[in-house]
Amino acid sequence: MEIKINRETLLKGISRVQGILEKRSHMPILSTVLLTTKDDELEISATDLEIGFQNSYPAEIIKPGSITISGKKLLDITRETDSEKIYISEKDNNWTYISDHNAHYNLSCLPVDEFPVLTEPEGTIMIEIDSKIITEMINKTIYSITMEEAGFKLSGVFMEKIKKNEEDFLRMVATDGHRLSMVDKKTPDIQKIEIKDGVMISKKGMIELNKLALEDGPPLQIGLKQNNLVVKKGKALIVIRLLDTKFPDYKNVLPKEKEDKESIITINRRHLLDAMRRMMIIRTDQYQGVKMNIEVNYLEMVSVNPDLGNVEEKIEIKYEGQPIEMGFNPKYFIDALQPMDSDVIYLNIKDQTSPCLITGEQDDGFLGLIMPIRI
C-alpha cells in the first residue's frame, strides 16, 4: 500500500476511533487501526471485538493495499506535524514508512490477517431515524447506567419498541437501582426491525453511537441482526454487539396514568439545578445527601457535613400538598436536570418513601426517577 492523504482528513479519521481502540488488551492487534484502500478513498477500521467502526476518507492512492498500524502512534504523528500532506507506504516484513516531508518514521506493524474482520451482517433491515432524536434519547438515559462492576444486568441502555394510542414508539431505559431514566420517541418504522423483547446496548456502544449521530451528514440508519446493532451514516458504519443479559422489569416503578395533582411540585429547572450544585460543594463520600423540606409554595434544602459545615437554600415553587421531608442524592438531580430542555419542570413526590418523578414541559416522552435516601 502507498498513499498520500491530507493531514486534517487523516487526523479526523484517526481521532474518531480512539475511543474504540483497546489500549491494554491482551490482543495487541486491537490497539491498531486497519487502513485499506478503496478506489480513491482510504478506509479506516477499528474494533475491540464488541464495537466495530469503519469510515472512508478521500486520499491519493498510489498503490492499493492494506496495513495495520498503532492507532495511538498514528494519531501522535498526525497531530504533531504541520505539513499539509502525509505519505504512508507499506514496506517488507510488516514495516510501514510514514513521512510528512520533515520527519520520517519507520514503524513495526502487525500482519493484516490478524485484524478481526468487520463485516456488516447480511440482510439487515434498516430504518431511518433523525440523528437529533437519537442524541436526545442517549443524553437523557446514559447517566443512569450503573458504574458498579457487579451490576452487569444494568450495564447498558435497554431499548425496546412500545405502542401508545396505537402509535409506535422507540423507548430507551437505564437504571442503576437508585434512579431510572426513560425516554419515548415516536418512530413509525420501528416495527420493521426485530427488537422482540428489547435489547441491551453497552455504555461504550451508546457513546460511539452518539458520536456518530452528532457528526454532520444524512440521517442515521439503524438495524438489528445476529445479536448486533448495525448503524450507518453516510459512508460510516458501526456494528455494536448487544449485551447478553436480561434487563430487570422496570415498569412496576413507573407512575400510574392518574396522578394526584396535589403531589406535583412545579419548579424552575435552572433554579433547582443551580441549588443542587451548591448543595454538592460540601458533599463527600461519607455525606452525600441533601434534606428537602417541601412546604406550600417553597422548597427548603439543607446539606450537612459535620467535618465542613452546612449549606441551606430556599426556592420558590408551586405546591399545594401536605408538607414532606425527605432526603436525596443531589448528584442524581444534577444528572437528570442537565440534559433536559424545559424551563419549567414537575416533581411528583407522593410521600417520604416514594421516588421523585421528574418530567418537563419541553421534554416530551422523558421521565426521570430518583429514589429517596435516609439522612
List of domains in the chain: 2-114 (3.10.150.10), 127-252 (3.10.150.10), 257-370 (3.10.150.10)
Range from 182-191, 192-201, 281-290 carrying the lowest mean pLDDT: 281-290
- pLDDT recorded at residue 151: 57
pLDDT tens column, 4-24: 999 999 999 999 999 999 887
List pLDDT tens digits, range 247-296: 889 988 887 755 667 789 999 999 999 999 999 998 887 778 999 999 99
pTM: 0.92
- Is residue 71 classed as helix, strand or coil in its secondary structure? helix
φ, ψ at 140 (rounded to 5°): -95, 5
Q: What is the pLDDT of residue 195?
A: 85
Query: Directed axis angle between helix 269-279 and helix 330-337, to 10°?
Result: 140
Helix axes 203-214, 131-139, angle to 10 degrees: 140
d(CA 122, CA 226): 9
Percentage of the residues of the chain whose pLDDT score is greater than 90: 77
> Residue 28 in contact with residue 47, Cβ under 8 Å?
no
Give the mean model confidence (pLDDT) for residues 311-337.
95
Do 64 and 37 contact (CB within 8 A), yes or no?
yes
Residues 203-220 have pLDDT tens digits of 999 999 999 999 988 999
Query: Could you tell me the three cell numbers for 106?
Result: 519507520
Average pLDDT, the chain: 92
Residue range 315-323: mean pLDDT, rounded: 93
Kindly tell me the burial class for residue 45, based on how many C-beta atoms sit within 10 Å of its own C-beta (0-12, 13-18, 19 or more): buried
Q: How confident is the model at residue 121 (pLDDT cuts 50, 70, 90)?
A: confident
What pLDDT does residue 285 have? 77
| Residue 129 to residue 371: CA distance in whole angstroms | 33
Task: Using alpha carbons only, give the angle 140, 146, 149 rounded to the nearest 5 degrees.
Answer: 155
Is the per-residue pLDDT at 102 higher than 60?
Answer: yes
CA distances from 301 to 278, 323, 351, 357, 358 (A): 10, 13, 17, 18, 17
Q: What cell does 259 get?
A: 396522578
CA 284 to centroid of chain Cα atoms: 27
CA distances from 350 to 61, 182, 326, 356 (A): 66, 20, 11, 8
Position 352 confidence tier, pLDDT thresholds 50, 70, 90: confident
Q: What angle do CA 182, 187, 189 make, to 5 degrees?
A: 140
Question: What is the model's pLDDT at position 70?
Answer: 96
